[in-house]
Structure 1
């Protein structure tokens, strides 16, 4: 088995974990802080707190987290076929 598949599977799992973190964070802030009467909401920079933390701050956090994951955990892999005999069938 090509070792690139092992790297690709590991990076795919990391991607799935990042999606789950993003959804859990968004859901927690949106539905945790967004409960109750809208007249009782607190505001951050003119946005309801649930919206600010789930959509604006959450996006900034996820961009930083993805950058760190890409820098420290992902590996650059060549997509070129290393063995020419595989392509030509020789």
Structure 2
């Protein structure tokens, strides 16, 4: 019989991988999507080029919120010590 902790750990690892892929897609999309043009035509947000603001600042804030939500909704606190075998 497989330990139930492995099933939980696999689910949480998959959620972590999805969050990393989502973070990279957001960063790459804004950085190379908005930043690939002529620098003289950049738009600015709070003094930063728009590509930098959305990929590095806003993207980071968005990912912190996503990670916090994932931790609250999907992650469980489980004991890591081995369970005593039932006799």
TM interval, shorter chain, is: over 0.9
Larger radius of gyration: 1
**Which sections of structure 1, spanning at least 5 residues, go unmatched?**
86-90
What's the TM-score once normalised by structure 1's chain length? 0.91
1:18 aligns with 2:19: yes
Task: State how far apart, in whole Å, the 2-side matches of 1:62 and 1:52 are.
Answer: 14
Which has the bigger relative contact order, CA under 8 A and spacing at least 6? Answer: 2
**Off by >4 Å, runs of 4+ in structure 1:** none
Q: What residue in structure 2 maps to residue 53 of structure 1? A: 54
Which residue does 1:40 correspond to in 2? 41
Distance 1:2 1:76 in 2: 15
**Cα RMSD between the aligned structures?**
1.1
- Alignment correspondent of 1:71: 72
TM-score normalised over the length of structure 2: 0.94
**Matches of 1:18 and 1:12, distance apart in 2:** 10
Q: Structure 2, unaligned stretches of length 5 or more?
A: none
- 1:18-74 deviation per Cα after TM superposition (whole angstroms, max 9, x unaligned): 000000000000000001110000000000000000000000000000000000011
